[in-house]
Structure 1
Amino acid sequence: MLAGLAALGGCSNSIITGVYGTPTEAESSSTPSTPSAPTRVDFDPDAECPVINVPNGASFYTSGGAQMTISKFARECDLSGPASVTIKIGIKGLAILKQGGAGTYSAPLRITIRDRDEHTAYTKVLRVAASVPPGEDQGSFEVVDTSTPIVIGVQQPLNSYDIQIGFDNKGALEPPTKKKHRR
């Protein structure tokens, strides 16, 4: 996979040529030129891939007689063009029975990528499901999502983005509230 990315960047070593950072030696020649495209520079997807954050209260979701929880997550950034990166996000979790028995439990899981100004660059809600077999008290789920290309550049480097994952409680049914009657 890195060989394919290196071919995209036009380099033969393990550093992938990207669109921000320190210009390569070939680009820092003494002859000034007017670039028609973004200046290409070194890009290290492992070091500069944004971190994943799970907001408070978004790591679990109650679904029927089970509680869905996020247990592990990871991300991988791949250069997908001269000024864009595709981020692959993997999430694993569990459905732990609180009561009841075997069955399939599901929950809405949201993935959001935002820039430093908190503008959403990508968001998606996935429905994850975990089956709990008879006689067991938990089941697991796993999902991998690949974002649309995220635009990066000198003013908007990849590490200025933020990845948030968590169960989306916006669609959850709230218990009805009692209305107060005036007398």
Structure 2
Amino acid sequence: MRFTIKLGSGPLLLVAMLALPACTSSGSGGSDMGSTLGNMLRYGSTTEPPLARAVEVEATECPAVTVADGGAALRRGTSQISIANVARECIERAGGAISVKVGLEGRALLGAGGGGGRFDVPVTFQIKRGDRVIVSRLKRVAVTIPANDTQSSFMAIESDMIVPPGTGEYEIEVGLGGAAAAASPRRRRG
């Protein structure tokens, strides 16, 4: 069966769209919404999302991000680079693994007599359970302070850090610099 609907028909268009899935049939003889239009209404796409995506949900437990002792700031010449804000997101996947996404916002300030320039800032992201490191990633972020400015902001985001199922309680930690971020005492942030 084929329908022709003119756009701009107002309420008639809505009624026709809602009735259309009931008039179409899938190959199985049922009148489910497995059609292209049904998928558009349900998922905002012409196809169904993969099953693994459909079962991902926001994890009920997502620990606050801590900043490693000695990892909150570092110096480059007379300039200082520091962490200003942190955030995280934890998504539970099928099978119980948790995918963690961590981000930080930082600031670079020129010191006395400093000029604009580019700094290479190492940022460490870690997930730990007690003293055991589950995931550790080092990312280098370019921070640029334009000439005639005294400061600049930067962001670093690390995605898909996987916590295996059955790990239990874990900690999320960030720090500037490679060695400083490995220190054990931490300062809690947001």
TM-score category by the smaller chain? 0.5 to 0.7
**% same residue:** 26
Task: Give 4+ residue runs of structure 1 displaced > 6 Å after superposition.
Answer: 3-6
Task: Report the equivalent of 1:72.
Answer: 85
Q: Please report the TM-score for the alignment, with normalisation by the length of structure 1.
A: 0.64
Task: Report the equivalent of 1:124.
Answer: 137
Quick check: 1:53 aligned with 2:66?
A: yes
Q: Is the 8 A contact 1:61 1:67 kept in 2?
A: yes
- Per the alignment, do residues 78 and 134 of structure 1 end up closer, same or farther by CA in structure 2, a change over 3 Å counting? same
Q: Is the 8 A contact 1:62 1:68 kept in 2?
A: yes
Alpha-carbon distance between aligned partners in 1 of 2:178 and 2:76, rounded to the nearest angstrom: 11
Deviations 1:119-176 (CA, angstroms, capped at 9, x unpaired): 11100111122111111110111111013321122xx33xx100111112539xxxxx
Q: Please give the residue correspondences for 1:99-118 in structure 2 after superposition, counting only pairs within 5 Å.
A: 99=112, 100-115=114-129, 117-118=130-131
Alpha-carbon distance between aligned partners in 2 of 1:51 and 1:63, rounded to the nearest angstrom: 28
Give the greater-gyration-radius structure (CA): 2
Shift of 1:66: 1.4
- Per the alignment, do residues 169 and 149 of structure 1 end up closer, same or farther by CA in structure 2, a change over 3 Å counting? closer
Alpha-carbon distance between aligned partners in 1 of 2:68 and 2:103, rounded to the nearest angstrom: 17
Alpha-carbon distance between aligned partners in 2 of 1:113 and 1:169, rounded to the nearest angstrom: 15
Task: Report the equivalent of 2:15.
Answer: none
Alpha-carbon distance between aligned partners in 2 of 1:63 and 1:121, rounded to the nearest angstrom: 30
Which blocks of at least 5 consecutive residues in structure 1 are unaligned? 10-15, 17-43, 172-183
User: How many residue pairs align between the two structures?
Assistant: 130
Which of these residues, 80, 87, 100, is aligned with residue 100 of structure 2?
Answer: 87
Quick check: 1:7 aligned with 2:7?
A: no
Which shows bigger deviation, 84-93 or 51-60?
A: 51-60
Shift of 1:6: 7.8
Which blocks of at least 5 consecutive residues in structure 2 are unaligned? 1-42, 44-48, 181-190
